[in-house]
Structure 1
Amino acid sequence: MVVAFAALTAARSLARAARQLQWFDNKEAAAMLKVSPRTLQNWRDEGLIGFSQVDRKIYYSRADIGLLLQNHYNKPFKAAA
């Protein structure tokens, strides 16, 4: 039972790591965030989003996109009725 739990925990950790290592090119990231490629360039220039560049191709990690969204999160200001 303990071995099965350890295996399940390890499998979940690997799945989580795989999700964090997922990369999106500029077009995919723009579509996912529903912004233009130029907006992504502005965010890169302003240091708002991390990225990697190979030659002329830009890539964003899932973690960097999540960090951008989390850094701009606004808590609800009205209590639910």
Structure 2
Amino acid sequence: MIVTGTLEDGAAYEVELTGREDRPVVGSRRVRALVEQHTGLPVLLTPLGPQRTLAAADTAAVLALLRQLTAVVEVRP
């Protein structure tokens, strides 16, 4: 899955969510660091829930985190 968006400071990013535990995000060190910082913490899959603990291999949870903390512009399979 390819995700395009902007970070809080306006920097653009495009990453691939791999679904792999050892390398969940390819393409942006800043987004990868963001995912690493929040791994193991709860994240809402939608604005009202359900809530899931962020695992690096869980692409749905990683995408939900990016939607909460960045401005996601496009998601492609």
Q: TM-score, normalised by structure 1?
A: 0.33
Structure with more strand by fraction: 2
Structure with more helix by fraction: 1
Q: TM-score, normalised by structure 2?
A: 0.34
Higher relative contact order (Cα pairs below 8 Å, separated by 6+ residues): 2
Structure with higher Rg: it is 1
